Amino acid sequence: MSTYTAVAHTNIALIKYWGKKDPQLIIPYNSSLSLTLDQFYTKTTVTPATTDQFTLDAQPITGPGLTKMTAFLDILRAYAKTDQKLAVTSTNHVPTAAGLASSASGLAALTVAATAALGLNLPKQTLSRLARRGSGSACRSIYGGFVEWQKGQTDEDSYGVPLNPAETTDLDIAMIALVISDTAKTVSSRQGMANTVATSPFYPAFVQRCEADLTAIKAAIAAKDLQQVGEIAEANALKMHATMLAATPPFSYFLPETLQAIAAIQQLRTQGYLCYFTMDAGPNIKIICAASQSQRIAQALKKLLPKVAMVIAKPGPGAKLI
């Protein structure tokens, strides 16, 4: 056994995953669809060791963070039929726990590096299935481009499946990430999901609509209809956030600056710019637009939101050993 390093990129869901049918196996209530991005990623190095160790962004992690990682490594060790301990060193090139999918890239990179360190050489479908056990959305970061997480019914059939790569490369698409806040959110995704599923009267309707939205957005991607892709994704994100406002107790990831950014995007649309937004469990906005227009849209936005940091991202690659 030797040292392995993997890189995985974040993915941003266009059709959202928000709620676990099986919290232990992380099997979702609905299938989802995402786009892996090139600008945000996690780099993880795994080395055999005498005890499990975890260093994140040059800081040794102890307590609940280490316990959570060890529990995930136990799943990988059980699959590999070994009790080998591992030292994990990760660097997030994306704000942690701020709704920019650092858990997706982090767990995907860890899965690829750790399984290699444990002596396994696994197909991507199996890597996707295992990554799901650490963070649901991580199953999509195993692949590049557009990825559908097929919800499945069991541990065996819930995993990410890439759409035809030609559909990603042929579609003129980019995302502009607006970093409203890079501080950790007060309500974790897991907490928020569990609360929403248990108490929100809107949740069953959300799940039902997600299946219809997924069918519609796949057709729009195949037709290279970016306006349709944007409209469906924006509406799907707002439906997800509506379920949280109806939960008990209600909660929201919106900050005042989030609402200002949404108003600015809507204003640009009235001026003829093709741009739509999506957002996950955090205050940060991702703008769906044509890659060929992304610089112009970012410049126009800068005039409306001069204090907001912006990063233009394009479709990114799948997770891999380096």
pLDDT tens digits for range 42-53: 999 999 999 999
Checking if the pLDDT of 165 tops 80, the result is no
> Binning pLDDT at 50, 70 and 90, where does residue 170 land?
confident
Give mean pLDDT, residues 69-93: 97
Give mean pLDDT, residues 92-117: 84
The pTM of this model reads 0.94
What is the average pLDDT value for the chain, to the nearest integer? Answer: 94
For residue 167, the model assigns a pLDDT of: 64
For residue 168, the model assigns a pLDDT of: 65
Q: Can you give the length of the chain in residues?
A: 322
Q: What would you measure as the largest C-alpha separation in the chain, in angstroms?
A: 61
Q: Which long-range contacts (CB under 8 A, 24 or more apart) does 215-223 make?
A: 217/14, 217/15, 217/33, 218/33, 218/148, 218/163, 221/146, 221/163, 221/167, 221/171, 222/164, 222/167
For residue 185, the model assigns a pLDDT of: 82
For the domain spanning 4-168, the CATH number is 3.30.230.10
Checking if the pLDDT of 96 tops 60, the result is no
Q: At what angle do helices 102-117 and 124-134 cross, to 10 degrees?
A: 120
Tell me, what amino acid is at 192?
A: G
* Direct distance between the N- and C-terminal alpha carbons of the chain, in angstroms, rounded to an integer: 16
Lowest average pLDDT, out of 23-27, 28-32, 152-156, 183-187, goes to: 183-187
- In the chain, where does the domain assigned CATH 3.30.230.10 lie? 4-168
Neighbours of 320 (CB within 10 A): 15
- In the chain, where does the domain assigned CATH 3.30.70.890 lie? 170-313
Query: 170-313: CATH homologous superfamily?
Result: GHMP kinase, C-terminal domain (3.30.70.890)
